Structure 1
Amino acid sequence: MSNVLNESAENYLETILILSQKLPVVRSVDIANELGFKKSSVSVAMKNLREKEHIKVDEQGFIHLTPSGLEIANMIYERHTLLSSWLIHLGVPADVAAADACKMEHVISTESFEAIKRHVYENKEV
């Protein structure tokens, strides 16, 4: 499913998920502040995600993940957290691990990620 979205769209969905866990509501301005982007850039991205039915925007401008958006966001977030934790466990500095995990989470195949996940949990490495 995620291979039809680009890395940027996946990052937006992941950011909406993370913000929704921290804030009572998520707005475009919150996403722009979190990512350091212009509000106009975020508005274009939200339009695209809305057209792909990964988000809904209510009349107050609050952004909500749809079931498909939530599925993608959860997948990317799981990849990010596991990969960054694993890299830190391997001795990579936390900031480097987080940056590398952010790149890896978008390009790794499902098969490779599942194999890493099995290995990590079987060996209790995170």
Structure 2
Amino acid sequence: MKIHASGEDYLEAILVLHKKMGMVRSVDVARQLGVSKPSVCHAVAVLQEGGLLIMDENHFLHLTEVGKEIAGKIYERHRFFTDRLIEAGVDPKTAEADACRIEHVISDETFRRLKEKYQSESESNGL
């Protein structure tokens, strides 16, 4: 299943909300992303069909193992780029918005290499 950037945003939001609150409902996702509840309902249906998300009998959202893997990958990229942009002097709000765009378009190889380079430079600088 090909996941679009918006689908990745929903998975990431559910992951973050689950870490913060434990249980996540569609209304929580709508608030987090600043979208309408019908938009969340549509996204949830698509993500459920793709096997990335389940909704239990109490309407709580849960990522499947595959959904967690994708969400974790996106969240890692988001944090990495947000932190690097802030370190470079970018306003935190702008850094968050730019990181959200970058996380969806960068290839796995490029991200891996940037992360490795940053980690090796940090280690050699004693950070």
Normalised by the shorter chain, which TM-score bucket?
over 0.9
Distance in 1 (CA, whole Å) between partners of 2:59 and 2:42 is 14
Q: Distance in 1 between matches of 2:93 and 2:38?
A: 28
Q: Which residue of 2 aligns with 1:67?
A: 65
Q: How much is the aligned-residue C-alpha RMSD, in angstroms? A: 1.4
Alignment-derived partner of residue 89 in structure 1? 87
Question: Which one of 52, 55, 62 corresponds to residue 53 of structure 2?
Answer: 55
Equivalence map 1:26-41=2 (5 Å): 26-41=24-39
Letter in 1 for 2:120: E
CA-CA distance at 1:37 after TM superposition: 1.1
* Range with bigger deviation, 52-61 or 90-99: 90-99
Q: How far did residue 97 of structure 1 move?
A: 1.2
Give structure 2 stretches of 5+ with no counterpart: none
Unaligned runs of 5+ in 1: none
What is aligned with 2:43? Answer: 45
Do the aligned partners of 1:13 and 1:65 also contact (CA within 8 Å) in 2?
yes
Residues 13-38 of structure 1 show CA distances to partners (whole Å, capped at 9, x for unaligned) of: 00000000111310001101111111
CA deviation map 1:10-68 (0-9, x unaligned): 00000000000111310001101111111111001000000001001000000000001
Give me the identity figure in percent: 45
TM-score normalized by the length of structure 2: 0.93
TM-score (norm: length of structure 1): 0.94
Which range is displaced more, 28-37 or 47-56? 28-37
- Counterpart amino acid of residue 102 in structure 2: M
* Shift >6 Å, 4+ stretches: none
Determine the structure 1 residue equivalent to 2:102.
104
Does structure 2 retain, via aligned residues, the 8 Å contact 1:53–1:66? yes
